[in-house]
């Protein structure tokens, strides 16, 4: 049966939008539908991690994100005898190899807005008020029934379906994938976006009391704060401005803090679950559809963005004719990350509850810079003596590269849809020419030390721990796929043929 489109993406949250951008910039035909009538306006995930900022750097929207957010917002933690200020990212400043070193506070609606704008520039759009209701998955494609807001039903067929439809995912349920874990009904939180008078906007204000926890975090470049407060599960009262105000007065002990103009109010229940499969035939699950966890540590939206970033280039390669076993590596690489994130956020969740301390320092783990695919099927580490990052690791940045385009960063050279060959030393000249000839346009070469590009500050050599002539193949999603010191074209060309 012929298909109407190559990829149908169900759900236009941060995960679906990232996937759509990845497909759009590779000219893969797709549809992106969302059952909601319009974009969601709540702040929800407000911590964008450095690794997600690197994804946005690749998409060309990192500077807009940074302009609409704030790094290093100190927590102001109140106690009976005053307060203390804590920066959980203290000392984490950009380095030559890590341009984004700490989480950016930015409301999720703005993150989605930036992705939607990018998608528009790339010629894509979200079809709102269209819900996926039924599906059947066969060897050649996925047939679906879509329901429009006016009740009209539409049948459609796509070669591939991506379920990016959130924690209650219809795609996951219809695909018969279980969602194992637990719902901790005793851990509930009220959340919302409100205007606040009586508090400065330079701090994330936090009170820990025997009645519970209260946080008011200013949302940068808005006049709003995100309200978060633990709540007794026995309380049946619906979220309301009056309830939020009462909690503020009870827990802060102050009568000079006034809330008004709420734009979003909700009650959150702790749900820690994940799937046991990311792929069922021609269906993929990504983001909250595949894993939900505590917001402690600010991981959910970020993990979804990176699921999509991992899946996007692989789907595009397969639509372009590469063997579809490449798509199995999506689950191989991303499921262990989801398992790890679930463990990390659950541990942090219980630790915050036990100690009532949200001000625990963040590390490489929560910043998601240390995530790697070292043990994945796409990883080729041919060196025996490794001094820096190894195959499967995130490919570091390096500033002060020079060539006829002037001074630039390594990330400028990675930006785009291509693979990059990063070569140090003079052993590679003929090999690089042959590869460029065979993979014209799909591979770009950064050749350091044979005179084509100068590593003027030595940052690239340092970041990659290079002491001998070494060649790295950098995947389109910014991970080192292959690393070798042997100037033999066969394994390198074979590797590239498998992927592009």
Ligand X SMILES: Cc1cc2nc3c(=O)[nH]c(=O)nc-3n(C[C@H](O)[C@H](O)[C@H](O)COP(=O)(O)OP(=O)(O)OC[C@H]3O[C@@H](n4cnc5c(N)ncnc54)[C@H](O)[C@@H]3O)c2cc1C
Q: Where are the beta strands (DSSP E) in 223-300?
A: 225-231, 258-275, 279-280, 283-285, 291-292
Q: Is residue 220 involved in binding ligand X (CB under 6 A)?
A: no
Q: Is residue 295 involved in binding ligand X (CB under 6 A)?
A: yes
Displacement of CA 186 from its chain's centroid (Å): 29
Q: Is residue 287 involved in binding ligand X (CB under 6 A)?
A: yes
User: How far is 262 from 464, CA to CA, in rounded Å?
Assistant: 49
DSSP 80-138: TTEEEEE-TTTT---BTTBS--SPEE--HHHHHHHHHHHHHHTT---EESEEEEEEEE-
Write down how long the chain is: 500
Measured in degrees and rounded to the nearest 5, phi and psi for residue 220 equal -55, 145
Biggest CA pair distance of the chain: 74
Near ligand X by CB under 6 A, which window of 4-12, 237-245, 332-340, 401-409? 4-12
Residue nearer to ligand X on the CB measure, 6 or 15: 15
Residue nearer to ligand X on the CB measure, 299 or 379: 299
Q: Is residue 143 involved in binding ligand X (CB under 6 A)?
A: no
Residue nearer to ligand X on the CB measure, 216 or 301: 301
Q: Is residue 145 involved in binding ligand X (CB under 6 A)?
A: no
Strands 75-79 and 204-209: parallel
Q: Is residue 298 involved in binding ligand X (CB under 6 A)?
A: yes
User: How far is 20 from 26, CA to CA, in rounded Å?
Assistant: 10
Neighbours of 41 (CB within 10 A): 14
Among 102, 299, 329, 484, binds ligand X (CB under 6 A): 299
Among 58, 97, 288, 455, binds ligand X (CB under 6 A): 288
As measured in angstroms, the least distance from the Cβ of 418 to ligand X is 26
Asked if 338 and 274 count as a contact pair (C-beta separation under 8 A), the reply is yes
User: How far is 305 from 310, CA to CA, in rounded Å?
Assistant: 9
482 beta partners: 380, 473
Q: Is residue 137 involved in binding ligand X (CB under 6 A)?
A: no
Map tokens 């070669």 to a residue: 159
- The interface with ligand X within residues 29-48 (CB under 6 A) comprises 33-36, 40, 44-47
Near ligand X by CB under 6 A, which window of 257-265, 273-281, 300-308, 452-460? 300-308
As measured in angstroms, the least distance from the Cβ of 292 to ligand X is 7
As measured in angstroms, the least distance from the Cβ of 140 to ligand X is 22
Residue nearer to ligand X on the CB measure, 369 or 483: 369
Q: Is residue 16 involved in binding ligand X (CB under 6 A)?
A: yes
Q: Is residue 54 involved in binding ligand X (CB under 6 A)?
A: no
Among 107, 141, 304, 392, binds ligand X (CB under 6 A): 304
**H or E stretch covering 338:** helix 328-355
Q: Which of 317, 301, 280, 336 is nearest to 16 (CA)?
A: 301
In angstroms, the Cα distances linking 75 to 71, 94, 202, 207, 216 are 12, 21, 9, 10, 10
Residue nearer to ligand X on the CB measure, 52 or 427: 52
Q: Is residue 76 involved in binding ligand X (CB under 6 A)?
A: no
Strands 406-408 and 454-455: unpaired
Q: Is residue 166 involved in binding ligand X (CB under 6 A)?
A: yes
Q: Is residue 192 involved in binding ligand X (CB under 6 A)?
A: no
**CB within 8 A of 236, min separation 6: which ones?**
none
Burial class (CB in 10 A: 0-12, 13-18, 19+), 38: exposed
Residue nearer to ligand X on the CB measure, 34 or 477: 34
Among 21, 24, 76, 108, binds ligand X (CB under 6 A): 108
Among 28, 135, 161, 164, binds ligand X (CB under 6 A): 164
Residue nearer to ligand X on the CB measure, 311 or 460: 311
Among 14, 99, 220, 425, binds ligand X (CB under 6 A): 14
Residue nearer to ligand X on the CB measure, 350 or 495: 350
Q: Is residue 448 involved in binding ligand X (CB under 6 A)?
A: no
Q: Is residue 306 involved in binding ligand X (CB under 6 A)?
A: no
**CB within 8 A of 6, min separation 6: which ones?**
23, 28, 29, 30, 158, 159, 160, 319
Q: Is residue 301 involved in binding ligand X (CB under 6 A)?
A: yes
Q: Is residue 165 involved in binding ligand X (CB under 6 A)?
A: yes
Report the alpha-carbon angle 200-206-212, nearest 5: 140
As measured in angstroms, the least distance from the Cβ of 375 to ligand X is 24
Q: Is residue 401 involved in binding ligand X (CB under 6 A)?
A: no
Q: Is residue 184 involved in binding ligand X (CB under 6 A)?
A: no
Footprint on this chain of ligand X (rule: CB under 6 A): 10-16, 33-36, 40, 44-47, 108, 131-132, 164-166, 170, 191, 268, 287-288, 295, 298-302, 304
């Amino acid at each position: 049966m012929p298909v109407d489109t190559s990829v149908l993406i169900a759900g236009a949250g941060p995960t679906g939008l990232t996937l759509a951008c990845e497909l759009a910039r590779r000219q893969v035909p797709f549809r992106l539908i969302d059952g909601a009538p319009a974009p969601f306006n709540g702040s929800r995930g407000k911590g964008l991690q450095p690794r997600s900022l690197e994804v946005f750097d690749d998409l060309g929207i990192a500077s807009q994100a940074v302009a609409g957010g704030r790094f290093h917002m100190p927590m102001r933690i109140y106690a009976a005898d005053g307060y203390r200020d804590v920066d959980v990212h203290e000392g984490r400043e950009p380095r030559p190899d890590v341009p984004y070193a700490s989480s950016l506070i930015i409301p999720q609606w703005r993150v989605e807005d930036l992705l939607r704008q990018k998608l528009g520039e790339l010629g894509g759009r979200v079809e709102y008020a269209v819900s996926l209701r039924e599906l059947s998955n066969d060897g050649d494609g996925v047939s679906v029934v879509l329901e429009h807001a006016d009740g009209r039903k539409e049948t459609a067929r796509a070669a591939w379906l991506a379920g990016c439809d959130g924690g209650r995912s219809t795609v996951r349920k219809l695909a018969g994938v279980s969602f194992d874990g637990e719902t901790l009904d005793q851990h509930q939180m009220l959340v919302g976006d409100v205007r606040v008078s009586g508090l400065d906007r330079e701090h994330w204000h936090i009170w820990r009391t025997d009645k519970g926890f209260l946080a008011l975090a200013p949302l940068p470049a808005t006049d709003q704060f995100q309200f978060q407060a633990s709540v007794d599960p026995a309380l049946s009262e619906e979220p309301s401005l009056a309830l939020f105000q009462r909690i503020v007065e009870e827990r802060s002990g102050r009568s000079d803090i006034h809330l008004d103009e709420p734009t979003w109010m909700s009650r959150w229940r702790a749900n820690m679950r994940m799937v046991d499969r990311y792929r069922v035939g021609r269906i993929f699950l990504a983001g909250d559809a595949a894993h939900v966890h505590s917001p402690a540590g600010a991981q959910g939206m970020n993990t979804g963005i990176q699921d999509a970033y991992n899946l996007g280039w692989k789907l595009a390669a397969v639509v372009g004719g590469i063997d579809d076993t490449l798509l199995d590596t999506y689950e191989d690489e991303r499921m262990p990350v989801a398992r790890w994130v679930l463990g990390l956020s659950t541990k942090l969740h219980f630790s915050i509850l036990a100690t009532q301390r949200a001000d625990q320092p963040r590390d490489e783990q929560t910043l998601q810079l240390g995530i790697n695919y070292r043990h994945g099927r796409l990883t080729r580490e041919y060196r025996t003596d490794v001094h820096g990052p190894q195959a499967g690791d995130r490919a570091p940045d390096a500033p002060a590269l020079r060539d006829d385009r002037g001074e630039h960063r390594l990330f400028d050279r990675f930006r785009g849809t291509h693979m990059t060959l990063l070569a140090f030393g003079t052993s590679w000249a003929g090999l690089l020419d042959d590869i460029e000839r065979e993979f014209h346009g799909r591979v770009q070469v950064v050749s350091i030390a044979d005179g084509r590009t100068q590593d003027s500050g030595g940052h690239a050599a340092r970041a990659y721990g290079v002491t001998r002539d070494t060649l790295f193949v950098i995947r389109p999603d910014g991970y080192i796929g292959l690393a070798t010191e042997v100037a033999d074209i066969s394994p390198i060309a074979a590797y590239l043929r498998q992927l592009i």
